Structure 1
């Protein structure tokens, strides 16, 4: 009887152990999902983010336990505030806002580029401005003070002896979202726009805007990344594997754009329409595409030169030191 009771207890314990083991494996294999938020703008040079979103590239690289969300921004300063606050894990932004935030103490790193080119200086039809020599005394618009396009334009003009009122010159500077440039031209509110593509091409097509300074001539036009991929120091230090996956997805998107330009244009038109409610003509986007080079490689020396120019224009109070700012290890 005792022997039978002992065998029965052993059997019960084995069953309980098996149940416990099975329960533990199920719990360990179903870890809680986390959310990664990617930020970007409705500009052509942010096309890699739109392509990656539409094709599910971030989701594929990050894996099933990661929920990917997307957040769009009107300008770089707002984007960088969101990054500093931990509201986004990374994304695409102009090098100007990224640089300004880094100098201000925000823990951020450039981990790749998105594109070069795509900045065009255009003038309002009827303004009488046909070349840079006519710009003195005019009103120009850029997305933000000290943003990438602002620095490019003012660098070019200062080299020719023309500066803004901010530094004692004659040009009046206002700011606004690029998607609103067309209406501001139509209303006669501004004379010149520092326009990121595709908005320059849109204004050429819709309101007969004149190209004053093409991408090939504007300062840093073909060397400076028009947009860079950034993330926080915390992500690099504590979640480098996830950062690598984000960069790998971004690289896949850039390669896809270069291999499939027609489809990428359609995706970008749709992506911009979703954000701005503006359906752009494909012909305008094709023109803008010709002015843009999509690449994920970034040159730290160019970033430093751009920072030096920002300091020279008095956007920065001190000469910038970008040690630790550009991290090329993830794209190599």
Structure 2
């Protein structure tokens, strides 16, 4: 299926999630805080740095960026700067270091960031998707018993897929 057809098919499912995150406020820092202070009353200005994964599990972010939903909802005074990540652990590190203002991130990296910062660095403002972690195996593997002795991989230690896999294998 072509990507544009995929977007059209997913539009009703993900537009609400994309809008929910797009319209929430994020705190600014550094030059952005100065730019906001010098803005016309009632107008917000500066840059919103948004992180997400360049894959289907972050479809609300992909859709919101691709269709200009975030830029429109943020207004003409705010520049949207996006960064993509391959792992929630990497994205969480970017949030904790101050390199991102907001991001789509899985539950485990979000909780870890909350704990590491004593609840100061992150706020969970909206759920955007569910059921995103899945174990993908070769077609000839049809039972858990067939996984014995095999090598399994996840994007990074401590991310959502890693924790889900460890829990699944322990059960």
Shorter-normalised TM range: 0.5 to 0.7
**How far apart in 1 are the matches of 2:110 and 2:40?**
39
SS in 2 for 1:99: helix
TM-score normalised according to structure 1 size? 0.36
Greater strand content: 1
Matched, 1:111 2:125: yes
C-alpha displacement of 1:33: 3.9
C-alpha displacement of 1:43: 2.1
Q: Which runs of 5+ in 2 are unaligned?
A: 1-37
Contact 2:52 2:103 in 1 (8 A): yes
The 3 A distance-change label for structure 1 pair 115 and 29 is: closer
TM-score normalised according to structure 2 size? 0.68
Matched, 1:81 2:99: no
Contact 2:39 2:45 in 1 (8 A): no
**How far apart in 2 are the matches of 1:80 and 1:28?**
30
The 3 A distance-change label for structure 1 pair 137 and 113 is: same
Matched length: 131
**How far apart in 1 are the matches of 2:96 and 2:166?**
28
Of 113, 122, 139, the match for 1:101: 113
Q: Which has the larger Rg?
A: 1
Q: Which runs of 5+ in 1 are unaligned?
A: 1-26, 160-332
Of 77, 90, 101, the match for 2:102: 90
The 3 A distance-change label for structure 1 pair 28 and 146 is: closer
Of 51, 54, 57, the match for 1:42: 54
- State the superposition RMSD in angstroms: 2.3
